[in-house]
Structure 1
Amino acid sequence: MKEEYYYLGLMLFTISYPLAQSFESRIYYYKKWYALWPAALISAFVYILWDHWFTVQGVWWFNERYILGWYLFDLPLEEISFFFIVPFACIFIYEVLIYFMEKDWLKPLGKPFVFFGVPVLFLLGLYHWDKLYTSFNFIFTSLLLLGHFLIFKDRILGRFLAGYLVSLIPFMIVNGVLTGSWIEEPIVGYNNEENLGIRIGTVPIEDSVYSMGLLLLNISIYEKILKRKTIRK
């Protein structure tokens, strides 16, 4: 594959299996797309604004070696697609886990997760106010988590946590490639003055919180539109 197709190829690889399995007779993921795509569109709008701002501020940048060079709002089109493809794949994982896990094993952790996670993320964001990615990411995600809890209580938090934890595996692999694992240079470069400088492999630790917020916002809107009558306990 030519190097300029790396980011595009990574996105196509990410969506390939979930898309192929969307019509599988047990999950019928495609029947929920009426809730998925509005959720992805609204969430993408929020995160693309954030992405644009951080790109302009030099918090991160994109390596022209690995992209096609087509831009919208100063962002490569591959980056725009990220905010639709990654939620598509992650919510697919969320739905698969709901189907195969009859009991919501992590529901007891929902409230403690909120009561611990919201203040910790918020305070860490304030403490690292001088680091734009860390501060904004942590504070924004803490507010998303609080807002979700005020609307849904702990009804789907256990299911969300299960989906988030499982989705972290492919997410970190994808982000590993984006940040330079297994290739000569990163596709997305980070300004370490704007983050904690702590990496999981090549992935900034902040990306795990970023992933949580992105998935939580998508699932919150998705479930609100879906109005799922019951999620098995």
Structure 2
Amino acid sequence: MKPNYTYFLILAVSFAGPFFLSFDKKVAFYKKWKFVFAAMILPAIFYIIWDSIFATKGVWYFNAEKVIANTYIYNLPLEEILFFFIVPYCCLFVYECILCYFPKLQSNKKADTILLLLGALLLMVGIFTLKLYYTAYTSFFTATFIFFIFLFRKYFSSFNSTAFLVSYVIILIPFLVVNGFLTAIPVITYNDNQNLATRIFTIPVEDIFYGLLLVLMNVVIYEKLQTKKME
């Protein structure tokens, strides 16, 4: 089978903007690369394991005609592995831009409450959708991590919930565009027997919270690593 660079090109185009803008003098994101790359490791491992298990169980499938041939790792195409590094990089860049250009954005009770209510809602969704793997696991994992943050809020005091929420609303636009391409081409196909079969265009609604958890994990670890250096 000839290699196809569809997925790789989508990732490359997504990465290009944030990468080159990382050298902007005001944001100077490149100066924080050591924290960025360190923050990515644990979330990437978690997501690769999760992704691999779900691919094995048929929760989703990858189109072999749209990925580089013979580059599968743990039954995932190479591009899918790269996804869990490229997307967090882009998202952390957006988060850092928000902090840089809107320094007055600070964590407050309203933002914390929104996240906690979201966690409670997702927990209930998970309970009522136990037979739907993608819906249930995404809901439970996201709710659990949100509650974990607030259970140890003093330890994660550097986490700016307001900046995170603002960032994620902005991130959703390119995130939905990228996922729209991936699901419309399709590079990845979802088994609707394992989700709510509710879509935003061609994108399963669960992807919003799948992405939220990925970004949230990276942001929380990224902030904690920076705080530890200053201690």
Length-normalised TM-score, structure 1: 0.91
**Alignment identity in percent?**
36
Q: What residue in structure 2 maps to residue 27 of structure 1?
A: 27
Q: Which runs of 5+ in 1 are unaligned?
A: none
What letter is aligned with 1:165?
V
SS at match of 1:61: strand
Query: Is the aligned partner of 1:94 residue 2:95?
Result: yes
Q: Structure 1 residues 155, 5: CA separation in 2 closer, same or farther (over 3 Å shift)? A: closer
**Correspondence for 1:141:** 142
Amino acid at match of 1:102: P
Name structure 2 gaps, 5 residues minimum.
none
2:176 is the counterpart of 1:175: no
* 2:61 counterpart SS class: strand
**CA distance in structure 2 between the partners assigned to 1:168 and 1:21 by the alignment:** 19
Structure 1 residues 133-180: Cα deviation after superposition (integer angstroms, max 9, x where no partner): 000000000011111222335851111101111101000000000001
The answer for the alignment partner of 2:45 in structure 1 is: 45
The list of structure 1 runs, each at least 4 consecutive aligned residues, that deviate by more than 3 angstroms after superposition, is 105-108
Judged with a 3 Å threshold, the aligned counterparts in structure 2 of structure 1 residues 229 and 100 are, in CA distance, closer, same or farther, namely farther
Give the Cα–Cα distance (whole angstroms) in 2 for the partners of residues 26 and 168 of structure 1: 24
Tell me the residue number matched to 1:160.
164
Report Cα offsets for 1:57-91 as digits up to 9, x if no partner: 00001001111121001000000000000000011
Q: Are the counterparts in 2 of residues 106 and 162 from structure 1 also a CA contact under 8 Å?
A: no
Report the TM-score when normalising by structure 2: 0.92
Partner of 2:192: 192
TM-superposed CA distance for 1:225, in Å, is: 0.5
For residues 171 and 32 of structure 1, the distance between their equivalents in structure 2, rounded to whole angstroms, comes to 23
SS at match of 1:179: helix
Q: Does the residue aligned with 2:5 lie in a helix, a strand or coil?
A: helix
Cα deviation for residue 114 of structure 1 reads 2.9
Query: Equivalent residue of 2:4, what SS?
Result: helix
Match of 1:13 in 2: 13
Alignment of 1:204-223 (within 5 A): 204-223=204-223
Cα distance in structure 2, aligned partners of 1:126 and 1:223: 31
Aligned mates of 1:189, 1:15 — CA distance in 2: 23
Alignment check: 8 A CA contact 2:7 2:187 kept: yes
Name the CA distance, whole Å, in 2 between partners of 1:91 and 1:221. Answer: 11
What's the CA shift for 1:115? 2.9
- Partner residue, 1:119: 120
Alignment: residue pair count: 225
Query: Once superposed, what is the RMSD of the aligned Cα atoms?
Result: 1.9
| Deviation readout 1:93-123 (Å, 9 max, x if unpaired) | 0011111113217744322113311211011
Please give the alpha-carbon distance, in whole angstroms, between the structure 1 residues aligned to 2:106 and 2:74. 42
Q: Matches of 1:27 and 1:154 in 2, distance apart?
A: 19
Question: For the Cα contact (< 8 Å) 1:91–1:219, is it kept in 2?
Answer: yes
Structure 1 residue identity aligned to 2:224 = K
8 Å contact 1:107–1:159 — kept in the other structure? no
